[in-house]
Amino acid sequence: MKAACWNGKHNVQVMSVPDPSIINPRDAIVKITTTAICGSDLHLYDGYIPTMEKGDILGHEFMGEVVELGSAVKNLKKGDRVVVPFTIACGNCFFCKRDLWSACDNSNPNAATAEALYGFSGSGLFGYSHMMGGYAGGQAEYVRVPFADVGPLPIPDELDDEQVLFLSDIFPTGYMAAENCNIQPGDTIAVWGCGPVGQFAIKSAFLLGAERVIAIDDVAGRLQMAAEESNAETLNFKDQDIYDKLTEMTGGIGPDACIDAVGLEAHGTTLDAIYDRAKTALYMATDRSHALRQAIRVCRKGGTVSVPGVYGGFLDKFPFGAAFSKGLTFKMGQTNMHKYMRPLLKLIQDGKIDPSFVITHRLALNDAATGYSTFSSDKDGCIKVIMKPNLN
Amino acid sequence: MPDGRTHWVAKGIGGIGASKVEWDAEIYNEIENEMIAWRSVDDADVVNAGSVRFHAAPTGHGTYVRVVLNYNPPAGTVGASLAQLLGTEPGQLIKEELRRFKQLMETGEIATIDGQSSGRAEGAVGITPGSFKSEGASPDESQEG
Ligand SMILES: NC(=O)c1ccc[n+]([C@@H]2O[C@H](COP(=O)([O-])OP(=O)(O)OC[C@H]3O[C@@H](n4cnc5c(N)ncnc54)[C@H](O)[C@@H]3O)[C@@H](O)[C@H]2O)c1
Ligand SMILES: [Zn+2]
Ligand SMILES: [Zn+2]
* Residue B103 belongs to a domain: yes
Report which of residues B17 and A114 the model is more confident about.
Answer: A114
* Residue B71 belongs to a domain: yes
- Structural domain harbouring B36: 2-107
pLDDT at B75 over 60: no
Alpha carbon separation from B115 to A24, A62, A144, A284, B121 (Å, rounded)? 11, 21, 11, 37, 9
pLDDT at B12 over 70: no
Question: Where do the structural domains in chain A lie, given as residue ranges?
Answer: 2-168+335-388, 171-332
Number of domains making up chain B: 1
Pocket test for ligand 1, best of A191, A200, A217 (most atoms within 8 A of CB): A217
If you average pLDDT over residues B75-96, what whole number do you get? 66
Which pLDDT does position B11 carry in this prediction? 61
Q: Among B111, B118, B126, whose Cβ lies nearest the Cβ of A57?
A: B118
ipTM of the complex: 0.89
Closest Cα in chain B, distance from residue A292 (Å): 31
A8-44 per-position pLDDT tens digit? 999 999 999 999 999 999 999 999 999 999 999 999 9
Q: Do A13 and B128 touch (CB under 8 A)?
A: yes
Atom of ligand 1 nearest to the CA of A262: 24
Percent of chain A with pLDDT strictly greater than 70: 98
- The 3-class secondary structure across chain A, one letter per residue, is CEEEEECCCCCEEEEECCCCCCCCCCCEEEEEEEEEECHHHHHHHCCCCCCCCCCEECCCEEEEEEEEECCCCCCCCCCCEEEECCEECCCCCHHHHCCCHHHCCCCCCCHHHHHHHHCCCCCEEECCCHHHCCECCCCECEEEECCCCCCCEECCCCCCHHHHHHHHCHHHHHHHHHHCCCCCCCCEEEEECCCHHHHHHHHHHHHCCCCEEEEEECCHHHHHHHHHHHCCEEEECCCCCHHHHHHHHCCCCCCCEEEECCCCECCCCCHHHHHHHHHHHCCCCCEECHHHHHHHHHCCCCCEEEECCCCCCCECCCCHHHHHHHCCEEEECCCCHHHHHHHHHHHHHCCCCCHHHHCCEEEEHHHHHHHHHHHHHCCCCCCCEEEEHHHC
**If you average pLDDT over each of A46-60, B14-28, B54-68, which comes out highest?**
A46-60
Q: Do A7 and B95 touch (CB under 8 A)?
A: no
Closest Cα in chain A, distance from residue B55 (Å): 17
CATH of A2-168+335-388, one of 3.90.180.10, 3.20.20.20, 3.30.413.10, 3.40.50.10420: 3.90.180.10
Which pLDDT does position B39 carry in this prediction? 92
Domains A2-168+335-388 and A171-332 share a fold: no
A329-361 per-position pLDDT tens digit? 999 999 999 999 999 999 999 999 999 999 999
A41 in contact with ligand 1, CB cutoff 6 A: no
Atom of ligand 1 nearest to the CA of A222: 39
**Can you give the CATH number for the domain in which B44 is found?**
3.30.530.20
Q: For residue B132, what pLDDT band results from cuts at 50, 70 and 90?
A: very low
* Residue B139 belongs to a domain: no
* Residue B69 belongs to a domain: yes
Distance B41 CA to ligand 2 centre (A): 55
For the domain A171-332, what is the CATH code?
3.40.50.720
Distance B92 CA to ligand 1 centre (A): 37
A256-287 per-position pLDDT tens digit? 999 999 988 777 767 777 777 777 776 666 67
* Residue B118 belongs to a domain: no
Q: Among A108, A112, A136, whose Cβ lies nearest the Cβ of B118?
A: A136
Mean predicted lDDT score pLDDT of chain B: 77
* Residue B133 belongs to a domain: no
Pocket test for ligand 1, best of A41, A197, A359 (most atoms within 8 A of CB): A197
